[in-house]
Amino acid sequence: MIIIMLGAPGTGKGTVAGILQEKLGIKQVSTGDIFRKNIQEGTKLGKIADSYISKGNLVPDDITIGIVENRLKDDDVKDGIILDGFPRTVVQAEALDKILKESGKKVDLVVNLTTPEEEIIERIVNRRVCSNSECKTIYNLQLNPPKVEGICDKCGSPLVQRKDDNEETVKSRIDNYMKQTSPLVEYYNKQGNLYNAVVSKSINKMGKDVAEDIAKMLK
């Protein structure tokens, strides 16, 4: 099964994808994690990606498509994948459809999450992520704090704040999302595989609730 997560930064894509990974046994793959790994290791790709990400801009299509195409060939995703952070543009979506078609696959479900902008900013500024690349559990200092300050509940590793998780960069990322990524909603709506969900404390529905609904729907 091929699942895609759509939504502006901070809408809970990573949270929903992580829960679906546990419940459905399908590997979650975040392009953001791939980029951050390359940035930390100082690779050529990492340096190129960092020049865009650090300013709140999207990494060019050709670089991103190449990374994802290579990732889709790995054994751990042969039975399915949850793509978090890809595609971000219609060009990427069309490329993904072509790549999947060549192996007799297709996108089965596209989850589109929406959240009020003021909640997104508050959520991202307060976001902390487990530094263990095998865990990557996401916390929020206000909504979902760890039991011990600065320590992951699951694996005991230190929690970190991503350097681009600040208000200025977040606003830029939201603006870029609306300009470049939101057309994907219409693209997948036409394909008939779009699932819309609102994630907001104002309606008392968070990412874990949406994930539970999707898991029930797919089982």
Q: Residue 133: pLDDT above 90?
A: no
Indicate if 36 belongs to the active site: no
Instruction: Give the pLDDT of residue 20.
Output: 94
Greater model confidence, 173 or 6: 6
d(CA 187, CA 82): 18
This prediction's pTM: 0.78
Residue of 36, 123, 127, 136 with catalytic role: 127
Of 13, 36, 128, 136, which residue is the catalytic one?
13
Judged against a pLDDT cut of 90, whether residue 9 lies above it is answered with no
Q: Which tokens sit at 66?
A: 């190449």
- Average pLDDT over the chain reads 90
Place of tokens 């190129």: 48
Catalytic residue, candidates 36, 123, 136, 173 = 173
The catalytic residue among 71, 162, 171, 201 is 162
* Catalytic-labelled residue, pool 36, 88, 123, 136: 88
pLDDT for 37 beyond 80? no
| Residue 201 known to be catalytic | no
Whether the per-residue pLDDT at 45 is higher than 80: the answer is: no
How much is the pLDDT for 42? 87
What digits encode the pLDDT tens for the residues 90-122?
999 999 999 999 999 999 999 999 999 999 999
**183-215 per-position pLDDT tens digit:** 999 999 999 999 999 999 889 898 899 999 999
Residue 53 — pLDDT band, cuts 50, 70, 90?
A: confident
pLDDT at 185: 93
Beta bridge partners of 88: none
Six token digits for residue 126 = 């307060």
For residue 191, the model assigns a pLDDT of 94
Among candidate residues 53, 213, 209, the one with its CA nearest the CA of residue 143: 209
DSSP summary character for residue 140: E
- Is residue 150 over pLDDT 90? yes
Q: Is 71 a catalytic residue?
A: no
Residue among 182, 171, 163, 183 at smallest CA distance from 57: 171
Percent pLDDT > 70 in the chain is: 100
Catalytic, 13? Answer yes
163 or 196: which leads in pLDDT:
196
